[in-house]
Amino acid sequence: MAPALSAEAVLNRTDDIVTEQAGLEGPLLPILHAVQAAFGYVPQETLPLIADRLNISRAEVHGVVSFYHDFREAPAGKHVVKLCRAEACQAQGADALADHAKARLGVDFHGTAKDVTLEPVFCLGLCACGPAALVDGRVVGRLDAARLDEILAGFGA
């Protein structure tokens, strides 16, 4: 695992990102995506800097980070399992699968246990093969509890 960056290094990198993206129309989302790409999540300490540089309120930045499921407010585990929560997958058992995953890991969505982060995602374009999931960036269709257990066991979870 890469060593943690100092708070100063995080802010310096964020400042560079804001400078690179500030000229875009509607720069907040691209900036937040770039910050997450740089650090793996959007560190709380970057929010005041982003707000000040864009001349918007901190509450506005925080609202966007918490509204979009793509943004993490804490570092993810080594593995990320995203379960589709959209309608077609729900009709194919996604709710029960989500309950199973939460119970097995002992966390809710956005939680991390045993180096696995559980996240919701809303439609992976695999609606006919639900429940669908994204496991470390790989799309998995027709996921059931047994297959999910195998995947998690493979991660040591």
Q: Which of 31, 32, 124, 143 binds ligand FES (CB under 6 A)?
A: 124
3-state secondary structure of 83: strand
Report the distance separating Cα 77 and Cα 39, nearest Å: 13
Q: Would you say 87 or 108 has its CB closer to ligand FES?
A: 87
* Residue 71 tokens, joined: 């943004």
Q: Are strands 79-84 and 116-121 parallel, antiparallel or unpaired?
A: parallel
Q: Which of residues 89-118 bind ligand FES (CB under 6 A)?
A: 89
Residues in contact with ligand FES, counted by CB under 6 A, come to a total of 12
Cis before residue 3, ω within 30 degrees of 0?
A: no
Q: Which of 32, 116, 132, 157 binds ligand FES (CB under 6 A)?
A: 132
Instruction: State the nearest-atom distance from the C-beta of 123 to ligand FES, in Å.
Output: 4
Cβ(132)–Cβ(143) below 8 Å: yes
Q: Binding residues for ligand FES, per CB under 6 A?
A: 84, 86-89, 123-127, 130, 132
